[in-house]
A = this chain, B = another copy of it.
Amino acid sequence: MELKLYVDRLSQPSRAILIFCKANGIEFEEVKVEFTKKETFSPEFTEINPMQQVPAIVHGDFKLFESHAILIYLASAFPGVADHWYPADVRKRAKIHSVLFWHHSNLRRGAVGYIFNSAITIISGQPVNLQAAAEGEKLLLESLAKIESYWLQGDGPFLLGNEKPSIADLSLVCEIMQLEAADESERERILGPHKRILKWIEDTKNAIEPYFDEIHSIMPVAREKIKELKAQASKP
């Protein structure tokens, strides 16, 4: 296969890339690199991504990492990707870049800080870090508020008021779906008050079925595993 995706479905940007390829009929080979088993640190994978993180891709002789750069590349290099994912118009495209860069310093930083430190880390055999999780949660809540009060304030159901999803919707919704790794009560506490965000998640999911649910089917499994590991860790 000419396009190889080096991914872990437990990683939210990995899921975004898998869903994007499936939704757009882009053929690929999925190469699993499990970060919870520290496979991102292998010499073979470090050759592909020296930053030792998933996702990364190899397309022929071309190597690329950073999930947003990958989504933009896939939307640009493969013919047949509908314009709404990454519009050719310079101003529409600029607005999508604005969301993507904002995401990196805000929603991603908050969500990763919260969910990694409160849940995912336990799969790697590391203890939870409640202080780091609390710092992450603060930025996560601020970011959710900004999504609701600003990015979702347009006429259409998607970010920037668009009628159809872009790569920004896909990336940000996959980020928020990472909260599926938390206890149901925690997810409800954080997302419950954000009705507009809940609707946007549903709209994005519905626009990309069946691939959205297919790739996210790992999340309930991860949640049960995390619960089990936490229960074991709390035994005397």
Contact = CB atoms under 8 A, between A and B. Distances in A.
A230 interface: no
Interface in A123-172: 146, 149-150
B95 A64 contact: yes
A111 to B, nearest CB: 13
A116 to B, nearest CB: 13
Interface in A33-64: 50-51, 62, 64
Nearest to A149: B50
Contacts of A105: 104-105, 108-109
Interface in A92-114: 93-95, 97-98, 100-102, 104-105, 108-109
A101 B66 contact: yes
Given A77-B90, A104-B104, A69 B98 contact: yes
Contacts of A72: 94, 97
A195 interface: no
Interface in A60-82: 62, 64-70, 72-73, 76-77
A105 B65 CA distance: 13
A235 interface: no
A90 B66 contact: no
A102 B102 CA distance: 13
Given A50-B150, A69-B100, A77-B90, 6 more contacts: A64-B94, A72-B97, A77-B94, A101-B101, A104-B105, A109-B109
